[in-house]
């Protein structure tokens, strides 16, 4: 078990919260580690008192797990920290067997049937009927693969709508939660990052109904229609974005999306890195990697180098980065700054250290001199090759966007006399919701909240109106028999063959 120094332990319980196996208890205001400990080290990492440490030796019979960077040592009969692997008589076994599709088919549920996958017509150019209790402007029926199908279309003004913008860049755009403005008007906020991308939430009902609602609706519409928009993040970057094009952050165009985080880059390129240098550091704001400690580096036989990084370790060879406008989106402007110390008992004169980024845009090589100092030297041909290999594996940076809308309100009345039945049909995949013919993802739970990739919708199909709201072309397609069942306006149906103008 992990060792707790009772002199230092204050019984705060931080380790209890960090332990995924629940084997730590606080008794008499001191942490006590139980039998099932897998030596994942989480408790040691979070203890504010530095009261927890690994034992000098792990118990006999424990098996090292190599399924992830944590590197648990799992004792006979017990689980690893992720609770997936168990030590069963000296071998690690996955506690849940491999599942075939048939074992999950019921949970996954039915797909939309082929006949209703595409609308007979789209909502683009459909117009709107107001008030909503009037039948939708076009309710068309026709045959698809010999089956009677109905498509109901409208251009729905949606005050519950927003645009989720994905900006592929390593450059910092601003703090999570920071407000995003057009001029002085607040139009959204920075939300959580995705892999290699900064995410912005633009619009939403609270901003649309707020004092800057018109500018909010206009901005959403411009983004969704793939026009250029200039944004300013409060306390952050000036952004020039256009869906389908590279983002410009503070006047600098982001051309490449990172190949992965620093750890993933090491996992992908360790065999080549090993040929290029004795030590490699991949700088990244999420996870910076150090080859000699990283599992991939050890796997390819890299020996310890005595390099210590200034970032906080996550797991061996993986360090949490920070955010800034330096290398790899970190605060490191001069790459040697990432090396906190060099243990010359382990390092050696002539040792070469390659520092690069996850995009391979920048790279530098250092050589350790006899006094243990780093001297910058020219990149060797092999180092240039591996940096080029990283760079050429990157996808181009671009801006993309999902339009999100809530169509579960009054707009349903134009489709059916019993709006709840339409909602139920959508969730049962009996009625297929498309936007300008493009497939949507309908959020689970109540209502009809959907999202669509704006690049699959004809450019210029979104409008805005000063209610304020954005206007989205939507289509519901279903079997005629289902349309009858949900109380659809069958009396307003027209055959699909008639060109609607
Ligand atoms: S986190 Fe540290 S100080 Fe707090 S209870 Fe656990 S061992 Fe004790
Ligand atoms: S090392 Fe991991 S499993 Fe063991 S007590 Fe600490 S958090 Fe729990």
- Between CA 444 and CA 164 the distance in angstroms is 18
Mutate-to-test residue for ligand 1 from 28, 47, 53, 54, highest number of ligand atoms within 8 A of CB: 47
Q: Are 486 and 479 in contact (CB under 8 A)?
A: no
- The 10s digit of each residue's pLDDT in 419-473 is 999 999 999 999 999 999 999 999 999 999 999 999 999 999 999 999 999 999 9
* pLDDT score for 499: 54
Mutate-to-test residue for ligand 1 from 3, 7, 9, highest number of ligand atoms within 8 A of CB: 9
Query: Per-residue confidence at 206, pLDDT binned at 50, 70, 90?
Result: very high
Report the percentage of the chain scoring pLDDT > 90.
91
Nearest CA to ligand 1 atom 4: 12
Q: Please give all residues whose beta carbon lies within 6 A of any atom in ligand 1, as ranges.
A: 4, 9-15, 26, 31, 47, 49, 51-52
Q: What is the three-class DSSP state of 327?
A: helix
Q: Indicate which atom in ligand 1 lies nearest the CA of residue 26.
A: 5
Ligand 1 midpoint to CA 10 (Å): 6
**What does the block give as tokens for 61?**
């019979």
Mutate-to-test residue for ligand 2 from 1, 19, 62, 72, highest number of ligand atoms within 8 A of CB: 19
Q: Is residue 2 in contact with ligand 2, taking CB distance under 6 Å?
A: yes
pLDDT for residue 187 is more than 60? yes
- In sign, the C-alpha dihedral spanning 490, 424, 469, 183 is negative
Ligand 1 midpoint to CA 42 (Å): 12
pLDDT for residue 498 is more than 70? no
Ligand 1 midpoint to CA 272 (Å): 42
pLDDT for residue 170 is more than 80? yes
Q: Are 265 and 282 in contact (CB under 8 A)?
A: yes
Query: Per-residue confidence at 58, pLDDT binned at 50, 70, 90?
Result: confident
Nearest CA to ligand 1 atom 5: 11
Q: Are 448 and 405 in contact (CB under 8 A)?
A: no
- Between CA 491 and CA 489 the distance in angstroms is 5
pLDDT for residue 500 is more than 50? no
Ligand 1 midpoint to CA 51 (Å): 6
- Between CA 164 and CA 37 the distance in angstroms is 42
- Between CA 396 and CA 417 the distance in angstroms is 48
Q: Are 83 and 35 in contact (CB under 8 A)?
A: no
> End-to-end alpha-carbon separation of the chain, Å?
76
Mean pLDDT in the chain?
95
Other CB atoms within 10 A of residue 166 CB: 20
Q: Is residue 19 in contact with ligand 2, taking CB distance under 6 Å?
A: yes
Tell me the ligand closest to 12's alpha carbon: 1
- What's the gap between Cα 247 and its chain centre? 18
> What mean pLDDT do residues 179-186 have?
98
Residues 411/412/417/421 CA torsion (nearest 10 deg): -170
Judge if pTM exceeds 0.85. yes
Strand 463-465 to strand 185-194: parallel, antiparallel, or no bridges (unpaired)? unpaired
Nearest CA to ligand 2 atom 5: 37
- The 10s digit of each residue's pLDDT in 252-284 is 999 888 888 999 999 999 999 999 999 999 999
Query: Per-residue confidence at 194, pLDDT binned at 50, 70, 90?
Result: very high
Q: Indicate which atom in ligand 1 lies nearest the CA of residue 10.
A: 3
Going by the DSSP 8-state scheme, the letter that residue 94 receives in this structure is E
Tell me the ligand closest to 8's alpha carbon: 1
Q: Is residue 365 in contact with ligand 2, taking CB distance under 6 Å?
A: no
Query: Per-residue confidence at 501, pLDDT binned at 50, 70, 90?
Result: very low
> Whose structure tokens read 């942490």?
31
- Between CA 88 and CA 78 the distance in angstroms is 8
Q: Are 386 and 270 in contact (CB under 8 A)?
A: no
Q: Indicate which atom in ligand 1 lies nearest the CA of residue 11.
A: 5
**What does the block give as tokens for 478?**
């279903």
> What mean pLDDT do residues 173-180 have?
96
Nearest CA to ligand 2 atom 7: 19
Residue 79 to residues 14, 35, 74, 97, 244, Cα–Cα distance (Å)? 21, 11, 6, 15, 46
- The 10s digit of each residue's pLDDT in 357-415 is 999 999 999 999 999 999 999 999 999 999 999 999 999 999 999 999 999 888 898 99
Higher per-residue pLDDT: 499 or 388: 388
Q: Indicate which atom in ligand 1 lies nearest the CA of residue 16.
A: 6
- Between CA 500 and CA 119 the distance in angstroms is 14
pLDDT for residue 497 is more than 80? no
Nearest CA to ligand 1 atom 6: 15
């Amino acid at each position: 078990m992990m060792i707790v120094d009772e002199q230092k332990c204050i019984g705060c319980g931080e380790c209890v919260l960090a332990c995924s196996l629940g084997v730590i208890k606080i008794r008499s205001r001191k942490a006590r580690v139980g039998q099932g400990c897998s030596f994942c080290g989480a408790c040691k990492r979070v203890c504010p008192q530095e009261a927890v440490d690994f034992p000098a030796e792990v118990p006999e019979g424990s098996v090292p797990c190599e399924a992830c960077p944590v590197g648990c040592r799992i004792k006979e009969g017990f689980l690893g920290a992720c609770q997936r692997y168990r030590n069963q008589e000296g071998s690690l076994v996955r506690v849940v067997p491999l599942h075939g599709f048939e074992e999950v088919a019921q949970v996954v549920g039915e797909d939309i049937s082929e006949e209703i996958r595409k609308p007979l017509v789209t909502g683009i150019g459909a117009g709107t009927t107001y008030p909503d209790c009037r039948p939708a402007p076009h309710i068309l029926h026709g045959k698809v693969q010999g089956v009677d199908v109905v498509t109901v279309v409208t251009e729905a003004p949606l005050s519950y709508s927003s645009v989720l913008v994905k900006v592929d860049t390593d450059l910092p755009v601003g703090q999570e939660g920071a407000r995003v403005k057009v001029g002085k008007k607040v139009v959204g906020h920075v939300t959580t990052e995705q892999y290699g991308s900064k995410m912005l939430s633009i619009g939403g009902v609270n901003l649309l109904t707020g004092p800057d609602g018109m500018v909010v609706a206009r901005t959403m519409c411009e983004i969704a229609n793939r026009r250029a928009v200039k944004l300013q993040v409060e306390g952050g970057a000036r952004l020039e974005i256009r869906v389908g094009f590279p983002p410009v952050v503070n006047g600098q165009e982001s051309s490449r999306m990172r190949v992965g985080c620093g750890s993933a880059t090491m996992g992908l390129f360790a065999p080549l890195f090993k040929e290029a240098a004795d030590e490699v550091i991949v700088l990244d704001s999420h996870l910076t990697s150090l080859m000699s400690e990283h599992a991939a580096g050890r796997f390819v036989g890299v020996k310890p180098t005595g390099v210590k990084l200034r970032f906080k370790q996550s797991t061996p060879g993986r360090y949490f980065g920070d955010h800034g406008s330096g290398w790899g989106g970190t605060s490191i402007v001069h790459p040697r700054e990432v090396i906190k110390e060099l243990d010359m008992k382990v390092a050696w004169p002539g040792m070469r250290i390659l520092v690069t980024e996850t995009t391979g845009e920048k790279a530098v090589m250092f050589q350790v001199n006899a006094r243990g100092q780093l001297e910058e030297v020219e990149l060797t041909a092999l180092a240039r090759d591996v940096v080029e290999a990283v760079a050429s594996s990157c996808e181009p940076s671009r801006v993309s966007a999902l339009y999100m809308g809530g169509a579960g309100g009054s707009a349903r009345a134009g489709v059916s006399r019993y709006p709840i039945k339409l909602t139920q049909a959508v969730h049962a995949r009996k009625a297929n919701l498309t936007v300008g013919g493009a497939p949507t993802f309908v959020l689970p739970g109540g209502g009809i909240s959907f999202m669509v990739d704006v690049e699959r919708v004809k450019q210029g199909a979104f409008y805005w109106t000063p209610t304020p709201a954005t206007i989205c072309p939507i289509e519901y397609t279903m079997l005629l028999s289902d349309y009858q069942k949900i109380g659809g306006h069958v009396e307003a149906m027209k055959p699909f063959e008639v060109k609607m103008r």
